[in-house]
Amino acid sequence: MLLKSCCIYSVGVFSLLFLITGISLVLSNVFPHFLQSVVKKEVVLKNGTEAFKAWENPPAPIYMQFYFFNLTNPLEVLDGDRPAVVEIGPYTYREYRPMEQVNFQDNGTKVTAVNTKTYIFQRNMSRGPESDLIRTVNVPALTVMERFKDEPFFDNLISSYMKSTDEGLFTTRTVGELLWGYEDALLKAIQTVKPDLDDVFGLFYKSNASNDGEYMFFTGQQNYKDFARVDTWNGESSLNWWTSDECNMINGTNGASFHPVITKTEKLYMFSSDLCRSLYALYEEDVTVKGIHGYRFTPPSEVFANMTVNPANAGFCVPAGNCLGSGVLNVSGCKQGAPIIMSSPHFYQADEKFVEDIFGMKPNKEEHETTIDINPLTGIILQAAKRIQVNVYVEKIPNFSQTGNVRTMVLPVVYLNESVVIDDESVVKLKVIALEQNVVVNIPFMLIGVGITLGGIFMFLMCRQKIPESTAAERQPLLSS
C-alpha cells in the first residue's frame, strides 16, 4: 500500500516538474534563442558553408525584364504637347551573376569579390526579338546639347552638324541597341575634338558580361548582422556624388543576401550601384512562397521623398538645393553627365505631376513596387522583384532648334524588373530547417503537454485510491450493529 502511494505521488511530482519546466522554457525562449544562435554561427561567408555557396553562385534562376515606352507623338511633343507613350515588353534575359575573384582577408572577417553579370536573351519569354524598334528620346544628342549649351563655339558647331545629318531630339532604335549599345554618329564626330568621349551609347552599355567594380564584404564571422554587408566599393567606404555625408554613405548588403534572424522591426539596408545610392526596406506583411514562411520588405515612400517630406534626402538634390520632387532621383553625376533620372516604374510613389505630364502612365502597387520576401530565420531570399525606371530630363535648349518648344519634363524610356524565386532544391532544404525549427521550438509545449497528462493520471489515481476507503467507512456501522 505504501509503495502504491509513493508511485502515485511520484506521478504528481513529475507532473508539476514537467509543467514548471515547460512554462519556464516558454517564458524564457531558451530553445528559440538556442536555434537562432546555431543559425548565426552557421550563416557565415566561409569556404564549405551553404551560405557561401549560395552567395558565390546563386542557385535560383534570375530574370531581367525590360519594358520600353514607345513615343507615339514626337512631332506634337516638339510643338509643346504632352507626350503619349505605349508600354512595350517584356524583353526577358536570364541573368547569371557569380561572385568572381573571391579573396578572403583580415583572418576571414572580410572578403573581396567582383559580381560579374551576364544576360542571355530569352525569346520564348519575350514580347518579340531584340530587333524590335522603339521610338524614344535621343539620349546621346540630348546629353551633348546639355553639355555644350553654354559654350557658344561648340553649340553652333554641334547644332549645324545635327541639322546636316537630320539628327533630332528623338530617335528610333532596336531593343538590342538601346540596351547594350550602338555607335552614335554625333558622339563619333565630337570624339575628334573630345578624344575622351566614348562614341558608343547604350542604357546598359558595358553592363553585359561585366561587373560594377570590386566589393569588400564582411563575412559575418564577428557579428551575424554583418553577413554580406558591404564595407567598401571600388576601394571607397563612401560615395562622392551627393551633397551630404549621410546620402554618400554605403549601407547594407548589395541586395542579393541578408543576415539571418531578421525581425519585423528592423530596417534592411541595401546599396545599389544602379541607383548610385543606399536605401532601406521595411516590413510590410507575412507571406508564403512555395510553402515557406517569409516576411515581405518594401522600400517606403520616404526613401525617395523630397527633402520637404524627408529632410534627410536633402543631399540627393543636385546641384545643392535643386530638388525635382518626390519619387525621382537625378543620377546624372554618376552617369557621365547624361541627364538620367531614376524612379519606380510608371512613377509609382512619385509626385502626381510626373504621372500627369506623360499620357500612358498607370502606376500600381502590385506591378511597380520593389519587394523582397525573406525567410526570417535564415535570411534566405524566397522571392524578390527589383523594379526601377530609367527616365531622361528633357527641356528646351534655346541654342538648339532640335528641342523645338518641348516641355520641361521627366520622360520615361524603359523600366526593368529584376526578379528571382527560390529554386526547388533550396525549398527542400528550408523545409527541413523549418521542421527542425518547429520541433525545437515546440519542445517546451511538449513538456507542458506531458505535465498535463501526468497531472490527469495523478488525479485519476488519487480518486481511485479514495473510493475504497469511503466505501469501507460506510459499511462499518452496519457490521457493528
DSSP alpha helix (H) spans, 173-224: 175-180, 185-190
Measure the CA–CA gap between 135 and 429, rounded to whole angstroms: 47
Task: Verify that 165 and 32 share a domain, yes or no.
Answer: no
Mean pLDDT of the chain: 88
Query: 480 lies in a domain?
Result: no
Query: 48 lies in a domain?
Result: no
Mean pLDDT (whole number) for 253-262: 94
Sign of the C-alpha dihedral computed for residues 302, 307, 309 and 311 taken in this order: positive
pLDDT at 13 over 70: no
B/e letters for 129-162, b = 16+ CB within 10 Å, e = fewer, are ebebebbbbbbbbbbbbbbbbeeeebbeebbeeb
DSSP 316: G
**pLDDT at 141 (0 to 100):** 93
- Torsion angle, CA of 285/286/287/288, rounded to 10 degrees? 180
Mean pLDDT (whole number) for 389-394: 97
Task: Verify that 72 and 31 share a domain, yes or no.
Answer: no
Residue 197 — very low, low, confident or very high, per pLDDT cuts 50/70/90? confident
pLDDT at 478 over 50: no
Task: Verify that 10 and 140 share a domain, yes or no.
Answer: no
- The total number of structural domains in the chain stands at 2
Show the beta-strand stretches assigned E in 328-465.
328-330, 340-343, 371-374, 381-394, 409-421
Q: What cell numbers appear for 210 in the block?
A: 561585366
Query: 430 lies in a domain?
Result: no
% of the chain beyond a pLDDT of 70: 84
Mean pLDDT (whole number) for 251-276: 94
Task: Verify that 75 and 21 share a domain, yes or no.
Answer: no
Mean pLDDT (whole number) for 438-451: 62
Segments forming the whole domain that contains residue 453: 1-37+441-464
Mean pLDDT (whole number) for 16-25: 62
Measure the CA–CA gap between 180 and 274, rounded to whole angstroms: 15
Count, residues in the chain: 481
Residue 435 — very low, low, confident or very high, per pLDDT cuts 50/70/90? confident
The per-residue pLDDT for range 118-170, each reduced to its tens digit, is 999 999 999 999 999 999 999 999 999 988 888 888 888 888 999 999 999 99
pLDDT at 451 over 60: no
Task: Verify that 353 and 455 share a domain, yes or no.
Answer: no
Residue 194 — very low, low, confident or very high, per pLDDT cuts 50/70/90? confident
Measure the CA–CA gap between 407 and 384, rounded to whole angstroms: 36
Measure the CA–CA gap between 216 and 102, rounded to whole angstroms: 10
Measure the CA–CA gap between 91 and 88, rounded to whole angstroms: 9
Task: Verify that 5 and 144 share a domain, yes or no.
Answer: no
**pLDDT at 24 (0 to 100):** 61
Task: Verify that 320 and 366 share a domain, yes or no.
Answer: yes
pLDDT at 266 over 70: yes
Residue 357 neighbours by CB under 8 Å, 6+ apart: 82, 83, 407, 409, 410
**pLDDT at 193 (0 to 100):** 80
More confident residue, 464 or 430: 430
**pLDDT at 425 (0 to 100):** 93
**pLDDT at 152 (0 to 100):** 80
Task: Verify that 135 and 171 share a domain, yes or no.
Answer: yes
Residue 480 — very low, low, confident or very high, per pLDDT cuts 50/70/90? very low
Residue 216 neighbours by CB under 8 Å, 6+ apart: 105, 110, 111, 112, 230, 231, 232, 233
Query: 474 lies in a domain?
Result: no
| Backbone torsions φ then ψ of 338, nearest 5 degrees | -65, 140
Query: 382 lies in a domain?
Result: yes
**pLDDT at 433 (0 to 100):** 80
Task: Verify that 280 and 321 share a domain, yes or no.
Answer: yes
Task: Verify that 147 and 30 share a domain, yes or no.
Answer: no
Contact between 262 and 295 (Cβ < 8 Å): yes
**Distances from the Cα of 250 to the Cα of 79, 366, 426, angstroms:** 43, 29, 30
The pTM score is 0.87
Q: Indicate the helix (H) or strand (E) that contains 133.
A: strand 133-137
Task: Verify that 158 and 23 share a domain, yes or no.
Answer: no
Query: 44 lies in a domain?
Result: no
The per-residue pLDDT for range 313-366, each reduced to its tens digit, is 999 998 877 889 999 999 998 888 889 999 999 999 999 999 999 999 999 999
Contact between 411 and 135 (Cβ < 8 Å): no
According to the per-residue pLDDT averaged within each range, which of 93-97, 221-225, 436-440, 454-458 is highest? 93-97
Query: 432 lies in a domain?
Result: no
Query: 303 lies in a domain?
Result: yes
Measure the CA–CA gap between 389 and 311, rounded to whole angstroms: 24
- Quote the Cα angle for 150-155-158, to 5°: 150
% of the chain beyond a pLDDT of 90: 69
Contact between 312 and 292 (Cβ < 8 Å): no
Angle between helices 2-28 and 443-480 (to 10 degrees): 150
pLDDT at 463 over 80: no
**pLDDT at 396 (0 to 100):** 94
pLDDT at 277 over 50: yes
pLDDT at 469 over 60: no
Task: Verify that 181 and 263 share a domain, yes or no.
Answer: yes
**pLDDT at 479 (0 to 100):** 44
Measure the CA–CA gap between 20 and 13, rounded to whole angstroms: 11
